[in-house]
Homo-oligomer: A and B are copies of this chain.
Amino acid sequence: MNIEMIRAAALRLNGHARKTPLLTSPFLDKIAGRRVLLKPECLQHTGSFKFRGAWSAVSSLTNEQLDAGVIAFSSGNHAQGVALAAREHDTAAVIIMPRDAPALKINNTRALGAEVVLYDRASEDRDQIGSELAAQRGLTLIKPYDEPQVIAGQGTTGLEIAAQAAELGVTQGDVMVCCGGGGLTSGVALALEADAPGLRARPVEPENYDDVTRSLISGQIERNVITQNGLCDAIVTPQPGDLTFPILHRLCGPGVVVTEDEALKAMVLAWGRLKIVLEPGGAVGLAAALFHRDAIEGDAVIAVASGGNVDAPVFQMALTKFGDIL
Protein backbone atom coordinates (compact mmCIF):
# COMPACT_ATOMS: atom_id res chain seq x y z
CA MET A 1 0.00 0.00 0.00
CA ASN A 2 1.64 3.25 -1.11
CA ILE A 3 0.99 6.70 -2.55
CA GLU A 4 1.53 5.52 -6.13
CA MET A 5 -1.52 3.27 -5.79
CA ILE A 6 -3.57 6.28 -4.67
CA ARG A 7 -2.36 8.36 -7.61
CA ALA A 8 -3.18 5.50 -9.98
CA ALA A 9 -6.64 5.21 -8.44
CA ALA A 10 -7.15 8.97 -8.92
CA LEU A 11 -6.48 8.52 -12.64
CA ARG A 12 -9.01 5.69 -12.84
CA LEU A 13 -11.60 7.71 -10.87
CA ASN A 14 -11.15 10.81 -13.03
CA GLY A 15 -14.42 11.63 -14.79
CA HIS A 16 -16.31 8.98 -12.77
CA ALA A 17 -16.10 9.96 -9.12
CA ARG A 18 -17.14 13.49 -8.25
CA LYS A 19 -14.47 15.94 -7.10
CA THR A 20 -16.32 17.30 -4.08
CA PRO A 21 -15.66 20.96 -3.15
CA LEU A 22 -14.35 22.28 0.17
CA LEU A 23 -17.18 24.16 1.90
CA THR A 24 -16.89 26.94 4.48
CA SER A 25 -19.17 29.08 6.63
CA PRO A 26 -18.32 32.04 8.86
CA PHE A 27 -20.89 30.69 11.33
CA LEU A 28 -18.99 27.42 11.70
CA ASP A 29 -15.67 29.26 12.04
CA LYS A 30 -17.12 31.13 14.99
CA ILE A 31 -18.22 27.96 16.78
CA ALA A 32 -14.92 26.20 16.15
CA GLY A 33 -12.79 29.21 17.07
CA ARG A 34 -10.77 28.73 13.90
CA ARG A 35 -11.32 28.36 10.15
CA VAL A 36 -13.30 25.24 9.25
CA LEU A 37 -13.05 23.60 5.82
CA LEU A 38 -15.49 20.76 5.15
CA LYS A 39 -15.08 18.03 2.51
CA PRO A 40 -18.67 16.90 1.80
CA GLU A 41 -18.42 13.31 0.58
CA CYS A 42 -22.19 13.11 1.04
CA LEU A 43 -22.21 14.79 -2.39
CA GLN A 44 -20.26 11.85 -3.85
CA HIS A 45 -22.17 9.41 -6.07
CA THR A 46 -24.36 7.09 -3.91
CA GLY A 47 -24.11 9.60 -1.07
CA SER A 48 -20.79 8.56 0.47
CA PHE A 49 -17.04 8.26 -0.10
CA LYS A 50 -17.52 4.49 -0.48
CA PHE A 51 -18.04 4.95 -4.22
CA ARG A 52 -14.38 5.97 -4.54
CA GLY A 53 -13.03 2.74 -3.07
CA ALA A 54 -15.57 0.63 -4.91
CA TRP A 55 -14.71 2.24 -8.24
CA SER A 56 -10.99 1.87 -7.54
CA ALA A 57 -11.37 -1.82 -6.73
CA VAL A 58 -13.70 -2.70 -9.61
CA SER A 59 -11.67 -0.72 -12.15
CA SER A 60 -8.51 -2.61 -11.16
CA LEU A 61 -10.00 -6.04 -11.92
CA THR A 62 -8.90 -8.13 -14.90
CA ASN A 63 -11.28 -8.62 -17.82
CA GLU A 64 -11.74 -12.19 -16.68
CA GLN A 65 -12.75 -11.05 -13.21
CA LEU A 66 -15.10 -8.43 -14.67
CA ASP A 67 -16.76 -11.11 -16.80
CA ALA A 68 -17.61 -13.10 -13.69
CA GLY A 69 -18.72 -10.24 -11.41
CA VAL A 70 -18.16 -9.06 -7.85
CA ILE A 71 -19.62 -9.74 -4.42
CA ALA A 72 -19.78 -7.64 -1.25
CA PHE A 73 -21.21 -7.90 2.24
CA SER A 74 -22.88 -4.70 3.37
CA SER A 75 -26.14 -3.30 4.57
CA GLY A 76 -25.11 0.25 3.88
CA ASN A 77 -22.89 2.64 1.99
CA HIS A 78 -20.38 0.09 0.69
CA ALA A 79 -23.25 -1.87 -0.88
CA GLN A 80 -24.46 1.10 -2.90
CA GLY A 81 -20.92 2.09 -3.90
CA VAL A 82 -20.11 -1.39 -5.19
CA ALA A 83 -23.48 -1.72 -6.93
CA LEU A 84 -23.05 1.51 -8.92
CA ALA A 85 -19.36 0.95 -9.69
CA ALA A 86 -20.14 -2.55 -10.95
CA ARG A 87 -23.07 -1.38 -13.08
CA GLU A 88 -20.95 1.31 -14.72
CA HIS A 89 -18.36 -1.38 -15.53
CA ASP A 90 -21.08 -3.59 -16.99
CA THR A 91 -20.28 -6.29 -14.48
CA ALA A 92 -22.62 -8.16 -12.14
CA ALA A 93 -22.71 -7.31 -8.43
CA VAL A 94 -24.07 -9.60 -5.73
CA ILE A 95 -24.63 -7.90 -2.39
CA ILE A 96 -25.27 -10.01 0.71
CA MET A 97 -27.54 -8.08 3.08
CA PRO A 98 -29.29 -9.00 6.32
CA ARG A 99 -33.01 -9.64 5.82
CA ASP A 100 -33.82 -7.00 8.46
CA ALA A 101 -31.87 -4.21 6.75
CA PRO A 102 -33.98 -1.10 6.08
CA ALA A 103 -36.21 -1.63 3.05
CA LEU A 104 -34.99 1.64 1.50
CA LYS A 105 -31.38 0.44 1.52
CA ILE A 106 -32.32 -2.90 -0.03
CA ASN A 107 -34.42 -1.16 -2.68
CA ASN A 108 -31.70 1.38 -3.47
CA THR A 109 -29.08 -1.33 -3.88
CA ARG A 110 -31.38 -3.27 -6.20
CA ALA A 111 -32.27 -0.11 -8.13
CA LEU A 112 -28.55 0.42 -8.77
CA GLY A 113 -28.54 -2.91 -10.58
CA ALA A 114 -27.19 -5.29 -7.94
CA GLU A 115 -28.54 -8.74 -7.15
CA VAL A 116 -29.36 -8.62 -3.45
CA VAL A 117 -29.12 -11.89 -1.52
CA LEU A 118 -30.82 -11.68 1.86
CA TYR A 119 -29.86 -13.81 4.84
CA ASP A 120 -31.24 -14.31 8.31
CA ARG A 121 -28.84 -12.96 10.92
CA ALA A 122 -30.02 -15.42 13.56
CA SER A 123 -30.04 -18.68 11.63
CA GLU A 124 -27.73 -18.26 8.63
CA ASP A 125 -23.98 -17.80 8.21
CA ARG A 126 -23.28 -14.78 6.01
CA ASP A 127 -19.72 -15.80 5.21
CA GLN A 128 -20.75 -19.28 4.19
CA ILE A 129 -23.44 -17.99 1.85
CA GLY A 130 -20.94 -15.56 0.35
CA SER A 131 -18.16 -18.13 -0.07
CA GLU A 132 -20.46 -20.62 -1.76
CA LEU A 133 -21.81 -18.01 -4.18
CA ALA A 134 -18.34 -16.67 -4.91
CA ALA A 135 -16.92 -20.13 -5.58
CA GLN A 136 -19.90 -21.22 -7.65
CA ARG A 137 -19.85 -18.14 -9.92
CA GLY A 138 -16.22 -17.04 -9.71
CA LEU A 139 -17.13 -13.72 -8.09
CA THR A 140 -14.42 -11.44 -6.71
CA LEU A 141 -14.97 -10.25 -3.13
CA ILE A 142 -14.72 -6.46 -2.64
CA LYS A 143 -13.94 -5.96 1.05
CA PRO A 144 -15.15 -2.74 2.64
CA TYR A 145 -11.80 -1.43 3.97
CA ASP A 146 -9.03 -3.96 4.46
CA GLU A 147 -8.17 -4.11 0.76
CA PRO A 148 -5.38 -2.10 -0.92
CA GLN A 149 -7.36 -0.91 -3.95
CA VAL A 150 -10.22 0.20 -1.70
CA ILE A 151 -7.84 2.17 0.53
CA ALA A 152 -6.29 3.66 -2.62
CA GLY A 153 -9.70 4.86 -3.81
CA GLN A 154 -10.60 6.41 -0.45
CA GLY A 155 -7.17 8.06 -0.45
CA THR A 156 -8.12 10.15 -3.49
CA THR A 157 -10.21 12.18 -1.02
CA GLY A 158 -6.91 13.14 0.64
CA LEU A 159 -5.26 14.14 -2.65
CA GLU A 160 -8.17 16.51 -3.31
CA ILE A 161 -8.04 17.91 0.23
CA ALA A 162 -4.31 18.62 -0.09
CA ALA A 163 -4.78 20.57 -3.33
CA GLN A 164 -7.99 22.37 -2.35
CA ALA A 165 -6.77 23.38 1.11
CA ALA A 166 -3.54 24.76 -0.36
CA GLU A 167 -5.64 26.89 -2.76
CA LEU A 168 -7.36 28.34 0.30
CA GLY A 169 -4.01 28.96 1.96
CA VAL A 170 -4.30 26.11 4.47
CA THR A 171 -1.18 23.89 4.63
CA GLN A 172 -0.99 23.24 8.39
CA GLY A 173 -3.56 21.67 10.68
CA ASP A 174 -5.62 18.66 11.61
CA VAL A 175 -7.93 16.74 9.27
CA MET A 176 -10.76 15.16 11.22
CA VAL A 177 -11.89 11.94 9.51
CA CYS A 178 -14.95 9.83 10.37
CA CYS A 179 -13.38 6.45 11.13
CA GLY A 180 -14.82 2.94 11.07
CA GLY A 181 -12.49 0.24 9.80
CA GLY A 182 -9.99 2.89 8.79
CA GLY A 183 -10.08 2.65 4.99
CA LEU A 184 -10.86 6.34 4.50
CA THR A 185 -8.62 7.52 7.33
CA SER A 186 -5.59 5.48 6.26
CA GLY A 187 -6.00 6.47 2.60
CA VAL A 188 -6.31 10.13 3.52
CA ALA A 189 -3.31 9.88 5.85
CA LEU A 190 -1.14 8.43 3.08
CA ALA A 191 -2.24 11.10 0.61
CA LEU A 192 -1.54 13.90 3.10
CA GLU A 193 1.88 12.48 3.95
CA ALA A 194 2.82 12.82 0.28
CA ASP A 195 1.04 15.99 -0.81
CA ALA A 196 0.44 18.03 2.35
CA PRO A 197 2.90 17.00 5.05
CA GLY A 198 1.71 19.87 7.27
CA LEU A 199 -1.78 18.34 7.46
CA ARG A 200 -2.33 15.45 9.87
CA ALA A 201 -5.20 12.94 9.79
CA ARG A 202 -7.12 12.47 13.05
CA PRO A 203 -9.55 9.54 13.36
CA VAL A 204 -12.90 10.50 14.88
CA GLU A 205 -15.25 7.92 16.37
CA PRO A 206 -18.57 7.85 18.24
CA GLU A 207 -18.53 7.07 21.93
CA ASN A 208 -18.61 3.35 22.79
CA TYR A 209 -17.08 2.51 19.41
CA ASP A 210 -13.64 3.96 19.97
CA ASP A 211 -11.57 0.95 18.92
CA VAL A 212 -9.21 3.01 16.75
CA THR A 213 -8.62 5.66 19.41
CA ARG A 214 -7.78 2.96 21.96
CA SER A 215 -5.67 1.01 19.48
CA LEU A 216 -3.61 4.12 18.73
CA ILE A 217 -3.00 4.58 22.46
CA SER A 218 -2.06 0.96 23.18
CA GLY A 219 -0.16 0.48 19.92
CA GLN A 220 -2.04 -2.71 19.06
CA ILE A 221 -5.42 -3.60 17.59
CA GLU A 222 -8.17 -3.25 20.22
CA ARG A 223 -11.74 -4.43 19.74
CA ASN A 224 -15.13 -2.87 20.44
CA VAL A 225 -17.65 -4.76 22.47
CA ILE A 226 -20.54 -4.05 20.13
CA THR A 227 -23.94 -4.63 21.61
CA GLN A 228 -25.89 -2.55 19.12
CA ASN A 229 -24.91 -0.27 16.29
CA GLY A 230 -26.25 3.07 17.59
CA LEU A 231 -26.98 6.12 15.47
CA CYS A 232 -23.55 6.17 13.83
CA ASP A 233 -24.04 2.74 12.24
CA ALA A 234 -22.17 3.69 9.07
CA ILE A 235 -18.84 3.82 10.87
CA VAL A 236 -19.25 1.10 13.49
CA THR A 237 -16.84 -1.80 12.95
CA PRO A 238 -15.47 -4.34 15.44
CA GLN A 239 -11.82 -3.26 15.13
CA PRO A 240 -9.32 -1.50 12.85
CA GLY A 241 -8.16 -3.56 9.86
CA ASP A 242 -4.92 -5.51 9.62
CA LEU A 243 -3.90 -3.37 6.65
CA THR A 244 -5.27 -0.06 7.88
CA PHE A 245 -4.04 -0.09 11.47
CA PRO A 246 -0.28 0.04 10.77
CA ILE A 247 -0.89 3.05 8.50
CA LEU A 248 -3.07 4.78 11.10
CA HIS A 249 -0.48 4.07 13.78
CA ARG A 250 2.39 5.45 11.71
CA LEU A 251 0.67 8.60 10.42
CA CYS A 252 -2.34 9.73 12.45
CA GLY A 253 -2.62 12.05 15.41
CA PRO A 254 -4.60 10.91 18.46
CA GLY A 255 -8.20 9.82 17.95
CA VAL A 256 -11.12 11.98 19.08
CA VAL A 257 -14.33 10.52 20.50
CA VAL A 258 -17.62 12.43 20.15
CA THR A 259 -21.08 11.84 21.61
CA GLU A 260 -24.16 10.99 19.56
CA ASP A 261 -25.65 14.35 20.54
CA GLU A 262 -22.57 16.13 19.21
CA ALA A 263 -22.97 14.24 15.93
CA LEU A 264 -26.64 15.26 15.75
CA LYS A 265 -25.75 18.91 16.42
CA ALA A 266 -23.14 18.79 13.65
CA MET A 267 -25.82 17.38 11.32
CA VAL A 268 -28.11 20.31 12.13
CA LEU A 269 -25.32 22.85 11.61
CA ALA A 270 -24.32 21.25 8.29
CA TRP A 271 -28.00 21.39 7.25
CA GLY A 272 -28.44 25.03 8.26
CA ARG A 273 -25.04 26.52 7.46
CA LEU A 274 -23.73 24.46 4.54
CA LYS A 275 -27.03 23.16 3.09
CA ILE A 276 -25.84 19.57 3.00
CA VAL A 277 -27.29 16.35 4.39
CA LEU A 278 -25.14 14.24 6.72
CA GLU A 279 -25.86 10.94 8.44
CA PRO A 280 -24.81 10.71 12.12
CA GLY A 281 -21.71 8.65 11.38
CA GLY A 282 -20.81 11.05 8.58
CA ALA A 283 -21.01 14.03 10.94
CA VAL A 284 -18.56 12.94 13.66
CA GLY A 285 -15.57 14.58 11.93
CA LEU A 286 -17.37 17.93 11.84
CA ALA A 287 -18.58 17.38 15.41
CA ALA A 288 -14.97 16.99 16.56
CA ALA A 289 -13.93 20.12 14.64
CA LEU A 290 -16.74 22.18 16.18
CA PHE A 291 -17.05 20.84 19.73
CA HIS A 292 -13.58 19.50 20.64
CA ARG A 293 -11.55 22.59 19.88
CA ASP A 294 -9.08 21.97 22.71
CA ALA A 295 -8.12 18.63 21.17
CA ILE A 296 -7.17 20.31 17.88
CA GLU A 297 -4.09 22.30 16.92
CA GLY A 298 -3.69 25.17 14.46
CA ASP A 299 -5.56 28.13 12.99
CA ALA A 300 -7.63 25.99 10.65
CA VAL A 301 -9.26 22.58 10.82
CA ILE A 302 -10.46 20.38 7.99
CA ALA A 303 -13.29 17.88 8.48
CA VAL A 304 -14.29 15.08 6.15
CA ALA A 305 -18.04 14.41 6.09
CA SER A 306 -18.12 10.80 4.98
CA GLY A 307 -21.75 10.31 3.97
CA GLY A 308 -25.36 11.41 3.99
CA ASN A 309 -27.46 8.26 3.80
CA VAL A 310 -29.80 8.86 6.71
CA ASP A 311 -33.45 7.94 7.14
CA ALA A 312 -35.99 10.75 7.36
CA PRO A 313 -37.08 10.00 10.97
CA VAL A 314 -33.50 10.25 12.28
CA PHE A 315 -32.97 13.49 10.39
CA GLN A 316 -36.21 14.95 11.70
CA MET A 317 -35.26 13.90 15.23
CA ALA A 318 -31.98 15.80 14.91
CA LEU A 319 -33.81 18.95 13.71
CA THR A 320 -36.38 18.66 16.48
CA LYS A 321 -33.81 18.08 19.21
CA PHE A 322 -31.19 20.64 18.15
CA GLY A 323 -32.84 22.98 15.60
CA ASP A 324 -32.40 25.88 18.03
CA ILE A 325 -28.61 25.65 17.76
CA LEU A 326 -28.79 27.80 14.61
Contacts and interface: CB of A to CB of B under 8 A. Distances in A.
A315 interface: yes
Contacts of A316: 316, 319-320
A275 B21 contact: no
A326 B274 CA distance: 23
Interface in A17-61: 18-21, 23, 26-27, 30, 40, 42-43, 47
Nearest to A274: B43
> Quick one: copies of this chain in the complex?
2
28 contacts: A18-B21, A18-B23, A19-B21, A20-B21, A21-B43, A23-B43, A26-B84, A26-B111, A27-B108, A27-B111, A30-B111, A40-B275, A42-B275, A43-B276, A47-B275, A104-B326, A268-B312, A271-B277, A272-B312, A275-B277, A275-B278, A276-B277, A277-B277, A312-B319, A312-B326, A315-B319, A316-B319, A316-B320
Interface of A: 18-21, 23, 26-27, 30, 40, 42-43, 47, 84, 104, 108, 111-112, 268, 271-272, 274-278, 308, 312-313, 315-316, 319-320, 323, 326
